[in-house]
Chains A and B, each alone.
Chain A
Amino acid sequence: GAGVSQSPSNKVTEKGKDVELRCDPISGHTALYWYRQSLGQGLEFLIYFQGNSAPDKSGLPSDRFSAERTGGSVSTLTIQRTQQEDSAVYLCASSLDLYEQYFGPGTRLTVT
């Protein structure tokens, strides 16, 4: 079956612009996670959605970052007024049982 998909695969943007990153989770997976992977760093937790519960936003690095999940499926991560330090690979994962996460291929964001 289809895995987690993310779009775009690559995004180059100018400093100060807003960007939207999209994640399509595996159908039926109730949990959805966003992570950021910087070069030489591990995965940094950003935000977590579980069903209809309020999302856990405790990992978002600043108020420039926001995310939503519509209809319990597709999620969009928005970064406003991008900065160069936002350059990273943004990974989305979904899970059915809260144990095994299925990761998408990621979106590589470059802020120039």
Chain B
Amino acid sequence: AQSVAQPEDQVNVAEGNPLTVKCTYSVSGNPYLFWYVQYPNRGLQFLLKYITGDNLVKGSYGFEAEFNKSQTSFHLKKPSALVSDSALYFCAVSASRGFNKFYFGSGTKLNVKP
């Protein structure tokens, strides 16, 4: 069965510090992996995706994520956090075979303090 785990309900970082939001997945076959962000009172927005190729993918707003097949992880990272990065972050996975259903994690609330 396909699933996504975001082990941290909340991550707190100081502005200017690096941030990591964790995601692990379970999928049959090759995974397609995604990160979405939900700002307060706004819809979910696509950040980045891993389909194939380089394990380090770069996305919007300076975010990047690293696909680690052996650890079945796809952690979201940013070298220097901004207060405006404070939001709810969702990891999602889809199986490359029968690619039509996405499984989302429960979300991680990122708090960046000035």
| A residues whose Cβ falls under 8 Å from a Cβ of B | 3-4, 31, 33, 35, 40-45, 48, 50, 56, 58-59, 91, 93, 98-106
Residues of the A chain whose Cβ atoms lie less than 8 Å from the Cβ of B99: 98
Judging by beta carbons under 8 Å apart, are B106 and A101 in contact?
no
- Identify which of B36, B43, B49, B103 contacts A45 (C-beta below 8 A): B103
- Identify which of A33, A40, A102, A104 contacts B102 (C-beta below 8 A): A33
Residues of the A chain whose Cβ atoms lie less than 8 Å from the Cβ of B34: 99
Of chain B, the residue at the smallest CB distance from A59 is B101
Judging by beta carbons under 8 Å apart, are B102 and A101 in contact?
yes
Q: Which of A45, A91, A102, A105 has the most CB of B within 10 A?
A: A45
Judging by beta carbons under 8 Å apart, are B101 and A48 in contact?
yes
Judging by beta carbons under 8 Å apart, are A99 and B49 in contact?
yes
Complex alpha-carbon distance, A91 and B42, angstroms: 12
Residues of the B chain whose Cβ atoms lie less than 8 Å from the Cβ of A101: 36, 44, 46, 102
B67 adjacent to chain A (CB < 8 Å) = no
- Identify which of B42, B46, B107 contacts A42 (C-beta below 8 A): B107
One digit per residue, 1 when the CB lies within 8 angstroms of any chain A CB and 0 when it does not, for chain B 78-100 equals: 00000000000010100000011
B51 adjacent to chain A (CB < 8 Å) = yes
Q: List 29 A-B contacts (CB under 8 A).
A: A4-B43, A33-B102, A40-B106, A41-B106, A42-B4, A42-B6, A42-B90, A42-B105, A42-B106, A42-B107, A45-B102, A45-B103, A48-B100, A48-B101, A50-B100, A56-B101, A58-B101, A59-B101, A91-B43, A91-B44, A98-B99, A99-B32, A99-B34, A99-B49, A99-B51, A101-B36, A101-B44, A101-B102, A105-B43
